[in-house]
Structure 1
Amino acid sequence: MAPLFDESSVDDPDRIAERDPHQTLRALATAGAQVREAVTLAGEAGLDRVSSGERPRSVLVAALGGSSVVAQVLELLAEPGSPVPVSARRNLPFPGWVGPLDLVVAVSLSGRAPGPVAVAAEAARRGAALLTVGATDSPLADICAQARGVHIGVGRGRISSRTGLWSLLAPVVMAANQLGLVDAPASTLEAVAERLDEQAEACRPSSESFVNPAKLLATRLAESVPVILGDGPLNGVAAGRAASMLARTARMPATCGELPDAASQIVACFDGPFTAVGGQGAGGRGARDDIFADPFLDGPAQPRLGLLMLRDAPPEMRSLESDEAEALTDAVLQSAEETGVTVSTVTAEPGHPLVRLAGQMAQTDFTATYLAIGLGLDPAVSPHVADLRDRTGH
């Protein structure tokens, strides 16, 4: 049975305040300010010291959970032209090849995540250069200070990597730019901040559902089993972030993929029980709508598969590769529509890759939050996650 999404609640200021007591929407709206604050904090922390010596032989980024997107973004930006390899790590064991010639970047908003803290400690032991980003008064900051590395704080009021992402990501991008690993100068970060501000304005709570892109998208996803598909590497990162936010914030299980690799496994789902032409489903009835069905006698209708396609902005210069990618995306969308899949599309606005990615992630971040509110959930707190932490001590 599809979840009961109360569309009126996302337009009611009182009900938003009631269901979002930790002000997740407000925190997401500060993303642009986070970028600008990070630039200032990085300068005060002496980020220039990271690039004062020779370029590192390699860069290893340690991050997990909601912070792991930092490593994914850096890999994405560095891949086209970085002169040194960039890799990601969530936890120990520490790669045997890392040593004094390498740079290790450890990211944790609280500065207490076991994986990044352990990686930073081992990097310090081996004499690798160390850059850390997280809370100032934390084990991560202490390890960095002892190793004479560079630690960048995240400012006040950052309580979750889901809403404080750019406090973590911006300093890492700045360091990578200084090292010549990515092309993202100060003007790019300001453009990122502006794009995030634009999304915050478009998705603000006072904007009515019929014009608010995040509220509209939340309404459509609430009635579906969501699948998020990116049309290439950039939107593959955005799709992963969207799936994580839907699960963690809105408690909606979502799967994600990236074209072209995920085309077959996603399209195969169009033959399954959650489409109009699919199987009989768990309740003995197909997903085809039946206006005469009695929910008490026949059981509730199954939710319909919902495809959220994240598309990149049209390229400035067309090529055979871009034409083939566009044709594949269009073919997947056509197949979805023909089988009764609920299809939604979010297309990036033009700009630097990091700017385009920022806009995509911001809209789906707001979408997941409005979806939680419409479902009557607190976007910031999951009782079962709290219970899991109590059981495990983490």
Structure 2
Amino acid sequence: MIDEAVLDDADALARVDREGSLRVLASAGAQVRAALSAEHDLERVRDDGRPRSVLVAGLGGSAVVGDVVAALAGAGSSVPVQRRKGGPLPGWVGPLDLVLAVSMSGRAPEPLQIAAEAARRGARLVSVCREGSPLADVTARARGTVLAVPRNGVPGVPAAGSRTGLWSLLAPVLLACGAADVLDLDAHDLGLAADRLDEEAETCRPASPGFVNPAKVLALELDGVVPVVLSDGDAAEAAAARVVSMLARTARVPAVRGTLPDDAGDVVSLFDGQFVGGAGSAGGPGGGAGVDPIFADPFLDGPPGPQLRLLLLSDTEDVPHAGPVRAVASHAGVRVSELAAPPGRPLQRLATLVARTDFAATYLALGGSIDPSRSVHLADLREVWASGDGATP
């Protein structure tokens, strides 16, 4: 449960946030500008022209990069975009295809293996990683393009991992996709997105009181519930994938996601289940909601269980699909949180959705005295994998 006193005390937040996650998130706009000011050599990417298809390989916090590229390309793109977290390189990838391998450290085995196989097949290869890393070496030997991530990140900001440093990975990838004529965007679009990220950082800053800070408000709404994230629009779908990942890895909260209208039926079916209704209730007669939690008696009805909460994300001005779901949720007694991106270019709208929910997930962790940068069990898992029993997450 969130301690609201901690949430509204910037010093208390800083004591829990020992690795400075909030400061790194606030540097998202600066991460984009650092990528724009870097001397990335995209001439060869541009000269090679539009590829037959694009495959984006990324794992963990880097995986959402592929979701964003696919979202910005859209369903109507003439260049198919596929995402790959691990496993072998698909058999159809060849010299006409572009493989983008993304890893902050440049050491993640899966992107590294995919890059090596892409090089063997003669595919066009672009890597976003640290200079001098194994991934950079594989790419250089294949005469591919290495878009280096700065080792020191943004001056005055703690070092970013792939989760909090998303935009330092995403910006070079988007520049490469623009140069390859896969996406209709350029440095100007990235500059507009950086401005939007700066606006969100100011709005959601730690010193901003909870009643006017939209990220803190959303964190309170997601406290102690089972979030179900529904997206409407391509950019919102990519943002939903990011939200679920951030809730799990940052706030330690399990969440599921779906898209509208495809998954509306699956989601409203949950309204008849055990996560809707009163304390200790799996639903009233006929599968309806049980006792209202406000009137529940903990002695007669049992302790309250986690309740489902719907989070609607939209990146479109007109939301024709959300209305019916919202109405059914209201009738079933399911509470709804909504976040609609302000008008702008697709990348701007995506930036708003990602930044707002990134801050909310981090405040949800910090308000519950959880350091978002440290997970004992994730560290244990990495140790096991590093011992040779599997791949690194």
Query: Map of 1:38-53 to 2, 5 A cutoff?
Result: 38-41=35-38, 44-53=39-48
1:150 and 1:34 map into 2 onto residues whose CA distance is 20
Q: Of the candidates 285, 292, 307, which is equivalent to residue 288 of structure 1?
A: 292
Task: Render the CA deviation track for 1:288-335: whole Å, top value 9, x for unaligned.
Answer: 31546236x7542112211111122415xxxxxxxxxx3431110111
1:277 and 1:373 map into 2 onto residues whose CA distance is 28
Q: Of the candidates 51, 54, 60, which is equivalent to residue 56 of structure 1?
A: 51
CA drift at 1:250 = 0.1
Task: Render the CA deviation track for 1:180-216: whole Å, top value 9, x for unaligned.
Answer: 2111122111100000000000000000000000000
Counterpart of 2:100 in structure 1: which amino acid?
Answer: V
Asked whether the equivalents of residues 95 and 121 of structure 2 are also in contact (C-alpha less than 8 Å), the reply is yes
TM-score by length of 2: 0.91
CA drift at 1:279 = 8.7
2:296 and 2:280 map into 1 onto residues whose CA distance is 20
Query: Map of 1:190-269 to 2, 5 A cutoff?
Result: 190-269=191-270
Tell me: CA distance 1:96–1:388, structure 2 relative to 1, closer, same or farther (3 Å): same
Could you tell me which runs of 5 or more consecutive residues in structure 1 were left unpaired when the two chains were aligned.
316-325
1:254 and 1:241 map into 2 onto residues whose CA distance is 11
Counterpart of 2:36 in structure 1: which amino acid?
Answer: V
The residue that corresponds to 1:323 in the other structure is none
Worse overlay, 176-185 or 253-262 = 176-185
The residue that corresponds to 1:139 in the other structure is 134
Counterpart of 2:123 in structure 1: which amino acid?
Answer: A
The residue that corresponds to 1:373 in the other structure is 366
Asked whether the equivalents of residues 50 and 182 of structure 2 are also in contact (C-alpha less than 8 Å), the reply is no
CA drift at 1:130 = 1.0
The residue that corresponds to 1:17 in the other structure is 14
Asked whether the equivalents of residues 233 and 258 of structure 1 are also in contact (C-alpha less than 8 Å), the reply is no
Counterpart of 2:9 in structure 1: which amino acid?
Answer: D
Tell me: CA distance 1:292–1:344, structure 2 relative to 1, closer, same or farther (3 Å): closer
Counterpart of 1:129 in structure 2: which amino acid?
Answer: R
CA drift at 1:287 = 5.5
Asked whether the equivalents of residues 81 and 182 of structure 1 are also in contact (C-alpha less than 8 Å), the reply is no
Counterpart of 1:336 in structure 2: which amino acid?
Answer: A
Counterpart of 2:325 in structure 1: which amino acid?
Answer: V
The residue that corresponds to 1:168 in the other structure is 169
Q: Number of residue pairs matched?
A: 376
SS at match of 1:274: coil
Asked whether the equivalents of residues 36 and 193 of structure 1 are also in contact (C-alpha less than 8 Å), the reply is yes
The residue that corresponds to 2:308 in the other structure is 305
1:181 and 1:388 map into 2 onto residues whose CA distance is 37
Query: Map of 1:90-101 to 2, 5 A cutoff?
Result: 90-101=85-96
SS at match of 1:228: strand
Q: Sequence identity of aligned pairs in percent?
A: 52
CA drift at 1:32 = 0.4
Asked whether the equivalents of residues 99 and 118 of structure 2 are also in contact (C-alpha less than 8 Å), the reply is yes
The residue that corresponds to 1:333 in the other structure is 326
The residue that corresponds to 2:156 in the other structure is none
The residue that corresponds to 1:321 in the other structure is none
SS at match of 1:230: strand
The residue that corresponds to 2:122 in the other structure is 127
Could you tell me which runs of 5 or more consecutive residues in structure 2 were left unpaired when the two chains were aligned.
154-158, 284-288, 387-391
Once superposed, what is the RMSD of the aligned Cα atoms?
2.0
The runs of at least 4 aligned residues of structure 1 exceeding 6 Å deviation read none
1:277 and 1:379 map into 2 onto residues whose CA distance is 31
